[in-house]
Amino acid sequence: MRQTLIFGLFFISNLFFSQQTDSLEVSITNPDLQDSIVVNPKNSIGRQLVVDGKQIFNNIAHSYASPFSWKKDNWVDVGGVALGTVLLYSVDHDTSKYFMDQREKVPSVVRKFGDYFGGPQNNYGITSLVYLTGLFTKNDKIRDTGVLMISSATTAGLIQTLSKTLVGRARPGTGEGKFHFKPFSGEPAYRSFPSGHTVLVATTMFSLAKQFSNPWVKAGIYTIGAITPLSRVWDGAHFFSDVFLSAAISYFVVEGTYKYMNKNQVKKEGKNKIAWRLSMSPNMLGLNGVF
């Protein structure tokens, strides 16, 4: 199943992402009977790894620092998520019982896929595959998507790990109810809030959906991504409020990181972009840098 999933992701990433030009970008013009070749050299793989490593670090740092610069609309969003979590918390007993009762009606392959897809080692394997595909094929769009996935998963993952330890909420499967908490216990039975599987899958799928404008493609990505949080509720590993908050955290982390990366890219292109032009004519040969 692991080999099939990895091959499928590799195939989809290469099928849907448009390939960018290789390390040499050529355009022919003819001003004043002169031919001009535009050359945009790319980083070596080693250099690109260093650049992307710095970008991932900056993305994570920016995500943690961003609450200090939030505006009114941002706090309204936070309030809406908090209210939604509280409302779902109030009916956690009923929703948990309902979903757990549906467990045997769901095909086992679907449940297993949800658990497998959200496993840390598997999810990071997938995001790393996306990044490495873009790195070695020199496809900036795929590589940037991998950077977004890794940055977002790491940022949200650390938040959920600390929250699990701090809150110590009992899982539904323990039978102790939604009001039972045991902070800092470190026991797996008291790590329900929030859902780590949901955080990892949600950051991956939100990041992937960002690359498509077609609503049907987005819907397909979200549908696949929804299997993991639902499987966690079916299995009694989390309450519905747990997976809701986890998905919300992932969404806002991906949104913030995506905007930050785009903003930096615009600044970089505006300040540092140099197009090297090799100009040729019957009596002249020259290389000019245009910026």
According to the model, what pLDDT value does residue 177 have? Answer: 86
Percent of the chain scoring above 70 in pLDDT: 76
Closest listed residue to residue 1, CA positions, set 109, 81, 106: 109
* Residue 285 pLDDT exceeds 80: no
**pLDDT tens figures, 61-116:** 999 999 999 999 999 999 999 999 999 999 999 999 999 999 989 998 998 999 89
According to the model, what pLDDT value does residue 186 have? Answer: 80
Average pLDDT, the chain: 82
pLDDT bracket for residue 270 (50, 70, 90): low
According to the model, what pLDDT value does residue 204 have? Answer: 95
* Global pTM exceeds 0.85: no
Label the pairing between strands 275-281 and 35-39: antiparallel
pLDDT bracket for residue 163 (50, 70, 90): very high
Query: Rounded mean pLDDT of 158-167?
Result: 92
Percent of the chain scoring above 90 in pLDDT: 62
* Residue 26 pLDDT exceeds 50: no
Instruction: Identify the bridge partners of residue 289 per DSSP, sorted by sequence position.
Output: 276
According to the model, what pLDDT value does residue 274 have? Answer: 53
**pLDDT tens figures, 204-249:** 999 999 999 999 999 999 999 999 999 999 999 999 999 999 999 9
According to the model, what pLDDT value does residue 158 have? Answer: 93
Query: Rounded mean pLDDT of 38-66?
Result: 84
According to the model, what pLDDT value does residue 218 have? Answer: 94
